[in-house]
Amino acid sequence: MNILNKEKLKLVMAMDWWQTDDLGGKIGKIKVSDGPVGLRCLSVTDSWANDSIYPSVAYPCYQMLSQTWNLSLAYKMGRAIADDCVDHNVDVLLGPGVNIKRTPLCGRNFEYYSEDPYVAGVFGKSFIEGVQAGHVGVSLKHYCCNNREYSRYWLSSEVDDRTLREIYLKPFEIAAQAKPWTVMTSYNLVNGVRMSANKKLNDLLRDEFDFDGVIVSDWEAVQDPLDSLHAGLDLEFPHNDKHAEEMEKHLAEGRVDLECLDKSSARVLALASKAERERALRKEEYTVDERIAISQEIEEEAIVLLKNNGVLPLKGGKIYVTGAPAHLYYHGGGSSAVIPNRPFVPLDEALRSLGYDAFYSESIGKIYGPLVSMGNLRQACLNSDQSDVTILTVGTGAGAEVEETDRQTIKLSPEELDALRYLRAHSKKLVVVVYAGSAVDLSEFDELADAVVLAGFGGQNVSQAVANVLTGKVNPSGRLTETYAYSIDDIPSEQTYRNEAVMVYEEGLNVGYRYFETQGVDVLYPFGYGLSYSDFKYSDLKVEMKADHVAVSVKVENLSDMDGKEVVQIYVNEVNPLVYRPVRELRAFDKVFVKAHESREVTFELQKDAFSYFSTILNKWIMEPGSFIIQVGKNAHEIVLQKKVDVNM
């Protein structure tokens, strides 16, 4: 096809908010849509207006998906969302986001998987494989170092090369193995260069991560369209009249590098052809009801039991339910806000459907970000007095966790703390269920409640899933994928330098559990933590150096009367490193089902990259032969077995 340079300019600049240019019908349009945790597809193509969103299946947020520690569910969720895309003729889903949770204050943390780059990378990879198996593309985002929403268009994330490669780029490197159709650049600058015009990192994406798709901008992220094109950005979203005029002028004046224009327009043209071919192959894998069931299945495996003094699973009796999230659908805000396609089921109703004597009255009414409407707390206390178990639901929601702004605090509202204290004085047994998309301060809840359950932003069937876990119909198996510190003051990234222009990543590799475990700082709940109704024992750890990998096996035994799932976590520690290395780093995991009073052997193969670090002097990954300790943990703090092995690959 003979395409003129003016037409090539149209190809590298979107036609409107959600579609690429079809050159007057010469080629097919590519339709894109928000929707990492459910399709946020609009009925219009020229705006971002929330009032034009089609209802769709609302899935658990990425935080919850990763807390399943079950990669098959990430694939399954991706495949289900592909069907949602097919229903609305969407060619490219704008997700997944694999950015690192550097601080719990980031307003978009619910859209991201973990503080750990390996967890974020493998979940992103599996999700992408699921979506693209449905012949729908994805946009792996936000590339890279988008770890705060504070001044996100203008702030420069200042990161040393080793930290960049080992922590912030590693999830993209892993997820890129799934061959995403597109990668989306972030709003921020990295080391002084805007990501939509960052040639060094765009070249790295193509040359080292073997990405051969289209690099797209986040919406309205481009400041200089010419610089961005020359730096390797292939496609600017949305359409910008001013930028289109500028580029036509640059083209007429001979300032456009035609080789760059040819490469980028050819990639967009190839994507349009790919989308057209894939459309012909699309067919529904799951009905809508099956997708809703998948949403609930994910939530049931994601819910984390944080504390249990024997009150759970519920034994019966009169159950009093209160708190806003029990009757209102809690979710994150911004471009991931989905309108569920089925009515929300309150928690008390979900419990009654299972045969339990549950009822509801208001204590905390509505929460509007930091503003709380308090209901009849006196009546709530009277109801608690007259009940066998009180379930208090608390959380954040779209007013606190939302794109474009960071959270002001990790504490829950003073009103919710009041409800906790007053109900504690009146409750025979008190269960707290937490609905939040990122880490919150639960220290007082842990102290006063008999049980604490993390439901997170659990999708449209969250109540049914929570009810199944509370009653023991489902044995909880979720594990945290971020650390719950005692205080925001304990988070190292919150103590680093920041001014009006830069945010310095002074903590380097010491992100999340890498910091807490290396420095010996106590936390409320460590990375990887979670309880079960079953009791598991580990034994028979075997570690052997093979020709090209380290073979690890361990026996997991279920000592209880209840079938359950356990997450086996493998950490690596170098005994005498040449460079700084955290005391332990997660290198493998597996979630295994073990029947009551039975055992299973779990095996792993640790490849060279599990023992490597990035050398900034040599500008490559290095595996120094030496001694390593293979650690088997129930979480990042509780190492139950370990064995030393000499590694030479």
What CATH number should be reported for the domain holding residue 584?
A: 2.60.40.10
Residues 336 and 265 in one domain: no
Residues 214 and 117 in one domain: yes
Number of separate domains in the chain:
3
Q: What is the mean pLDDT of each run of 10 residues along the chain (649 residues)?
A: 88 97 96 92 78 91 98 98 97 98 96 98 98 98 96 96 98 98 98 98 98 98 98 98 97 97 98 97 97 98 98 97 96 90 97 98 82 90 98 92 92 94 98 97 98 98 98 98 96 95 98 98 98 98 96 98 98 97 98 98 98 97 96 98 96
Residues 324 and 431 in one domain: yes
Read off the DSSP letter of residue 489: G
Instruction: Point out the domain boundary residue: 480, 502, 524.
Output: 502
> What is the rounded distance in angstroms from the CA atom of residue 422 to the CA atom of residue 430?
11
User: Length of the chain in residues, anyone?
Assistant: 649
Residues 169 and 206 in one domain: yes
Residues 206 and 155 in one domain: yes
Read off the DSSP letter of residue 56: B
Residues 433 and 332 in one domain: yes
Question: Do strands 357-360 and 550-558 pair parallel, antiparallel, or not at all (unpaired)?
Answer: unpaired
Residue 23 lies in a domain: yes
Helix (H, G, I), strand (E, B) or coil at 317: coil
Residues 415 and 562 in one domain: no
Domain around 616? 534-647
Residue 49 lies in a domain: yes
Residue 287 lies in a domain: no
The whole-number pLDDT of residue 371 equals 78
Instruction: Point out the domain boundary residue: 450, 479, 502.
Output: 502
Which residue is it, tokens 């060279």?
A: 608
Q: What is the CATH number of the domain that holds 344?
A: 3.40.50.1700
CB of 20 within 8 A of CB of 272? yes
Given the residues 83, 91, 116, 218, the one annotated as active site: 218
Residues 88 and 159 in one domain: yes
Residues 314 and 173 in one domain: no
563 is catalytic: no
Give start and end residues of each alpha helix (H) in 576-618: none
What is the model's pTM? 0.97
Residues 275 and 303 in one domain: no
Q: What is the CATH number of the domain that holds 239?
A: 3.20.20.300
Residue 46 lies in a domain: yes
Calculate the alpha carbon distances from 533 to 302, 412, 552, 590, 607 in Å: 15, 27, 27, 19, 34
Residue 288 lies in a domain: no
Residue 291 lies in a domain: no
Q: By 3-state DSSP, what share of the chain in percent is helix, strand and coil, each rounded to 5?
A: 30, 25, 45
- Find all residues with CB under 8 Å of 103, minimum gap 6, and list them: 147, 148, 491, 493, 494
Residue 145 lies in a domain: yes
Residue 423's φ and ψ, nearest 5 degrees, are -70, -30
> What is the rounded distance in angstroms from the CA atom of residue 254 to the CA atom of residue 631?
60
CA atoms within 13 A on the CB side of 46: 1
Residues 332 and 365 in one domain: yes
Residue 515 lies in a domain: no
Residues 148 and 259 in one domain: yes
